[in-house]
Amino acid sequence: MSWFGGDKGYDRARLLADARRAAKRGAHAKAIALYERVREVEPENTDLLRRVAGLRVRAGQREEAWRDGCLAAEDLAKRGFVAEAIGVHRSYAGRFPDQAPVWCSLSDLELERDRRPDAVSVLLEGSGHFRSRAKRPDALALLRRARRIEPTHFEANFSLAGVMARSGARQPARRILESLAPHARTRRDRRRLRGRLFRLSPTPAAAWRWLMAALGR
């Protein structure tokens, strides 16, 4: 069989057993190297690729983990195992949540399952990891993506307007919030919406609407 190739020193069972033991001990680099020896012979083995990607996450190898994880997830999704593909990306996101592409990929996979609310929730979750001034462009990109999926989604629009306002785009933020008023279904959402509008434009009329929202009217 092709698994055994021409390398007389190649022992698949031994390499896999050694790799598992190394991973269990926390020797991630050694486990990766052993699994990679098997992958040289079995380049299409997605299960091995998933194991290596997971080990790379634990070893802190961001770029390599993302590369291998994407390949594994893509193969799984093509074969119809979308939930497993999501699990691969979730593993990466759990360790490196400040990588915007992983949240986009997770959202796309949820859309493949026709779960639009989940796709939006993923992007909202991801945007919460980009709160610093330097990371605001990533937060904006994720929230705009969420808004494209569900144009009237309250939380996506509310969060987007908040980041835009902090970035200096106060007028566009105000327009988004004003268009959101018909979609504020709960008293809490109406209070939050009117409060943010008042802070963006502290006029007597805005203050009155905020008060009415707070009173549930």
Cβ atoms 143, 123 nearer than 8 A: yes
Residue 167 pLDDT class (50, 70, 90 cuts): very high
DSSP assignment letter at 6:
S
Radius of gyration of the chain (CA): 24
Cβ–Cβ under 8 Å, residues 164 and 180: no
| pLDDT of amino acid 98 | 92
Instruction: Count CB neighbours of 115 within 10 A.
Output: 15
Write down the mean pLDDT value for the chain.
89
Which of the 8 DSSP states describes residue 130? -
Strand residues in 124-170 grouped as ranges (E):
none
Angle, helices 116-127 vs 136-149, to 10°: value is: 170
- Domain residue extents for the chain: 1-81
Q: What's the DSSP call for residue 91? A: H
Longest dimension (CA), the chain: 84
Highest mean pLDDT among 90-104, 142-156, 180-194: 142-156
**Strands (DSSP E) along 11-112, which ranges?**
none
Q: Cα angle at 60 between 58 and 63, to 5 degrees?
A: 115
pLDDT at site 123: 98
Do the beta carbons of residue 121 and residue 111 sit within 8 Å? no
Q: Name which of 14-23, 87-96, 133-142, 206-215 the model is least confident about.
A: 206-215
**How far from 201 is each of 59, 116, 156, 182, CA to CA, in Å?**
49, 33, 21, 19
Contact indicator for 177, 194 with CB cutoff of 8 Å: no
Classified by CATH at the fold level, domain 1-81 comes out as: 1.25.40
What pLDDT is stored for residue 104 in this prediction?
Answer: 96
Q: Report the alpha-carbon angle 38-41-43, nearest 5.
A: 90
Name the pTM for this structure. 0.81
